[in-house]
Amino acid sequence: MSEIAVAVSLVAALFVLLGTGVWIGMALFGVAWIAMELFSSRPSGDAMAATIWASASSWTLTALPLFVWMGEILFRTRLSADMFQGLAPWTNRLPGRLLHTNIIGCAIFAAVSGSSAATCATIGKMTLPELARRGYPEGIVVGTLAGAGTLGLLIPPSIIMIVYGVSADVSIAQLFVAGVVPGILLALLFMGYVAAWALLNRSSVPAADASMRLREKLWASRSLIPVVMLIAAVLGAIHAGIATATEAAAIGVVGALALSALQGSLDRRTFVDSLLGATRLYCMIALILAGAAFLTLAMGYLGLPRHLAEWIGTLGLSRFELIVALALFYILLGCFLDGISMVVLTMSVILPAVRAAGIDLLWFGVFVVLVVEMAQITPPVGFNLFVLQGMTGRKLTWIARKAFPMFVLMAIAVLLIYAFPELVFWLPRRMRPVA
């Protein structure tokens, strides 16, 4: 059987298993087992056992549950309740006024969450009712929240970056640092859009609140100071070379527990709920990663990644054409799969072609995160759209239309990091290696 026929058969088997409602991780195991049994001479049992052990015992992967736990702890503090009060005085005089709290709030919470859906839900709980009460148009509020919620994937610590780093064997610490400048750039693009919209729709923006003195603004923002210090400690430890990503994650957990205790929100129930929440999410991700590792091994035995890389090479695509093709591929894939599944399913197949084209894997990691962000607001399986649908009761298509300008801005961000790759490389080149 030809390689194309084998690849088509395996893809068909994967979609059949996913269509039956089987867990994604188990579906990956099933397809890999079929590939090993039917198209390879190596016994599948020992290969599966060795792959699961290698995937589960990865030291690099230990950063993932720790960062997830840190986000779960802070999710249960009063951070979300205090954030609007702390941010509102600083945005009151900007064009668009309190609409910027959606974007800045998401950027701050992204730095302690690592999850797009969690960022969108947490900030949405805070801003949606408050901005509606103040008379801001629902369309622009929902649209900016859908877009800004995706910052949870790009601004470190990012779950997707950890998954990519493990899959592509790229330094997670370098990925975290590389995502800082593009994350800030994307947030500024969102804020620029809000300002432009406000200037063109002055009548739709409610009047400004009473102005506050600097001392009053600082006092209103006092609850954000510990969180900002925690973010600075985690990212600063990585950037300064004091700690690896895993060690910085441990610092983040200890800091989150201390912050929760100081706020008075740390009790037995909060501790247990955060631990169970992190365990459930990590177990889901770990199962997907183990299944993807087994599928990668199976495809390696079949030679599919090598053949695909050779086929792409025969197309004669320029580097830019390849990037455009991959962006369209990931956006299309995002219509059917979540971000983590997209990364683990495609890395073994895509990376040989990316290496052959001379594309830096650190830069490619940031690129992948950006296009996965775009998929988060692409129907029918845009996770942020589902989150906002549950919170607003609006139709998915209506939310997608309101979020479309954010989609365009993300595409512009992709073009910017392609045209100016230093946006990705500038900060990592100044990062000190861990001793």
What is residue 435's predicted lDDT score, i.e. its pLDDT? 44
Task: Tell me the per-residue pLDDT of 192-220, one tens digit each, with 9 for 90 and over.
Answer: 999 999 999 888 877 766 677 777 777 77
Asked if residue 387 belongs to a domain, the reply is yes
CB atoms within 10 A of CB 108: 23
Residue 53 lies in a domain: no
Q: Is residue 212 part of a domain?
A: yes
Per the domain annotation, does 410 fall within a domain?
yes
- Domain range enclosing 145: 60-430
pLDDT in tens, 220-247: 777 777 777 887 888 788 777 787 777 8
User: pTM of the full predicted structure?
Assistant: 0.75
pLDDT of residue 421: 93
Angle in degrees, CA 331, 360, 350, rounded to 5: 45
How much is the pLDDT for 302?
72
Q: How many CA atoms lie within 13 A of 206 on its CB side?
A: 16
Number of C-alpha atoms within 13 angstroms, CB side, residue 237? 17
pLDDT at 433: 55
H helices present in 169-224, as ranges:
172-178, 180-200, 214-220
- Asked if residue 97 is part of any domain, the answer here is yes
Domain count, the chain: 1
**Residue 95 gets which letter from DSSP?**
T
| CA distance linking residue 73 with residue 269, whole number of Å | 11
Amino acid at 279: T
Question: d(Cα 389, Cα 397) in Å, to the nearest integer?
Answer: 10
Residues ≥6 apart with Cβ < 8 Å to 361 = 168, 170, 351, 354, 355
* pLDDT, one tens digit for every residue, the chain (435 residues): 566 677 677 777 777 876 777 777 788 788 888 888 877 766 777 777 777 777 777 666 677 788 778 877 877 776 656 666 777 777 777 888 888 888 888 887 777 666 676 677 777 777 788 788 888 888 998 999 988 888 877 887 788 888 898 888 888 888 988 998 999 999 999 999 999 999 998 888 777 666 777 777 777 777 777 777 887 888 788 777 787 777 888 888 888 888 888 878 788 888 898 888 888 877 877 777 787 778 777 777 777 666 665 666 677 778 888 899 888 888 877 766 667 777 877 787 788 888 888 899 999 999 999 998 888 788 766 777 777 887 788 887 898 899 999 999 999 999 999 999 999 999 888 765 554
Give the span between the Cα atoms of 18 and 84, in whole angstroms: 40
Give the closest residue to 304 by CA, choosing from 24, 11, 90, 37.
11
Residue 10 domain flag: no
In a domain, 27, yes or no: no
160 C-beta neighbours (distance < 10 Å), count: 25
**Nearest alpha-carbon partner for 60 in 172, 191, 152:** 172
d(CA 156, CA 309): 31
Q: Which of 243, 262, 270 is nearest to 177 (CA)?
A: 243
The per-residue pLDDT for 415 is 94
Kindly report the number of other CB atoms within 10 A of residue 408's CB atom: 14
13 within a domain of the structure (yes/no):
no
pLDDT of residue 360: 93
